[in-house]
A and B are shown apart, each in its own frame.
Chain A
Amino acid sequence: MKNNPLIHCTQLLAKHSTTSELNLTAHAGNIISIIGQDQESKSNLLKTIAAITEAESGHLYLAGREPTQFNQDDWVNTRTQFAYIHADTAILSAANALQNLMLPAVYHHLGSSDDNMKKAQQLLHDIQAGENLELLPAYLRKEQRYKIAVARALMLNPQALLLDSPFSALELTSIEPFQKFLLNQVKDRNILLILVTHNVSFALKYSDQIIYLSGQQIFKFDKDKRIQDCTNAEINNYLSMLANNINSK
């Protein structure tokens, strides 16, 4: 028997959306990719699923509860358990990498100082955050800052990681190791991973579900109904366009 879904939405419509409604059930350990040409629509949808922006209509349940019923404590709990990170998520500019990672754990009183320190160092190592981490974020590369932001969210042991364009902040050589890191998080920690991406090869290879946003419609694909077998012209054009881009690189 499957566990209760972490995220469940029925007829969910994001604000200012021109697409159709989304029905989605996502469990721990799932990988769900949101793809499509319109970046803004995809980002809006992810923010709505993360309960950061209010939905236009429909129902959203995070860990079985509707965000509209949340009080302040529920909201805090949701933000720690459903980590949302976009490519430009900023870390604290007045703190170095380790201090940035320690901050949420200390604020939420998670574990002892020593345990948090060890965990933070391990995460920075696993995510391959790079050198000079004792420096302030302004002196680090964008990729390093992004990895620190992801590691900082993971310090709180979230149940779900919702990433908007996770690979866009990375250098070409770092994409594959970062993908491996994410896959390990899903496997080892049983995290639900939902990502908005143009990285179709990752989406095709690892996703349990793929959500394609076209101008007016949302298409859902999974292992039984594969996106590669779809006959929709727009989707085929999108896939071949991205494939050509990859080949030309």
Chain B
Amino acid sequence: MVTQIIFTGIDALPTISLLGLAAGFVFTFRLISVLESVGAASETINLLINVIGLGIGPFLAAIILISRTGSAIVVDLGNMKLHGEIEGLEMLGININNYLIAPRLIGTAISQLAITVYFTFIALVFGIVLSGLLVSNSHFDFLYEIGTAFTPYLVMIFVIKNLLFGIVIAATSCYIGLHVKSSPTEVPQQATRAIVNSLIAIFIIEGLLALAILQ
């Protein structure tokens, strides 16, 4: 599980940092500017939390996870299945759900949560700082307001959503990875399948959660 967290979470930090900076400029900075120009500056914090923290943050982190970790899990488990390593473990009385699947589920879920926190922090702080430097010094106040605007309810939704994303990505990838049978050509095919299926699953969960939160 520690290995999974290191690969999924820590090794992904450079990519997440770049994406965070890009999202800070593209979304945070522009949102602040647009909201100010239409006279809705009072809604800035709410919108930033909803769009960056609960929307784009988990979603982009999930896409990074699907492309890096999801495909890696399929290739890893697929090759293990292909070469008989999984059968070898089962012959030793080792339950692969305990030994191979559970650590991947838990590790990926924790990593999804961690990298979304990191991504959201960078995207919000960078966008606000940029806006404070380039547009108005008063925008630096958003930094203080954002800390208090994350209510326990929003934090709960944030945590649940990210853990759910992580578990679904890992579960889909493990399930599909274990479907590799006897040909090496199946591994890349199943990796592609896992990416597509994970994306669909994330879209569906995103939609369902959006509906649930709205109600």
Contacts and interface: CB of A to CB of B under 8 A. Distances in A.
B92 A156 contact: yes
Contacts of B84: 88-90
Contacts of B43: none
A52 B93 CA distance: 12
Contacts of B95: 76
Interface string A70-107: 00000111111001110011111100000000011001
B80 A104 contact: no
Contacts of B93: 75-80, 104, 108, 156
B181 interface: no
B101 to A, nearest CB: 14
A107 B103 CA distance: 14
A80 to B, nearest CB: 4
Given A76-B93, A77-B93, A107-B94, A93 B88 contact: no
- Bin the interface of chain A by size: 20 to 34
Contact of A149 (B83, B88, B90): B88
Interface residues on B, range: 10 to 19
Given A90-B83, A93-B83, A84 B88 contact: no
Contact of A85 (B89, B90, B91): B91
B141 interface: no
B85 A93 contact: yes
Contact of B92 (A52, A80, A93): A80
Contacts of A108: 93
B85 A153 contact: no
Interface string B69-94: 00000000001100111011111111
A79 B85 contact: no
Contacts of B88: 89-92, 149
A152 interface: yes
A108 B93 CA distance: 8
Contacts of B203: none
B89 to A, nearest CB: 8
A78 to B, nearest CB: 8
Q: Most chain-A Cβ atoms within 10 A of its Cβ — which of B84, B85, B87, B90?
A: B85
Contact of A89 (B79, B91, B94): B91
A90 B87 contact: yes
Given A83-B91, A93-B85, 8 more contacts: A78-B93, A85-B91, A92-B85, A92-B88, A93-B80, A104-B93, A107-B94, A153-B92
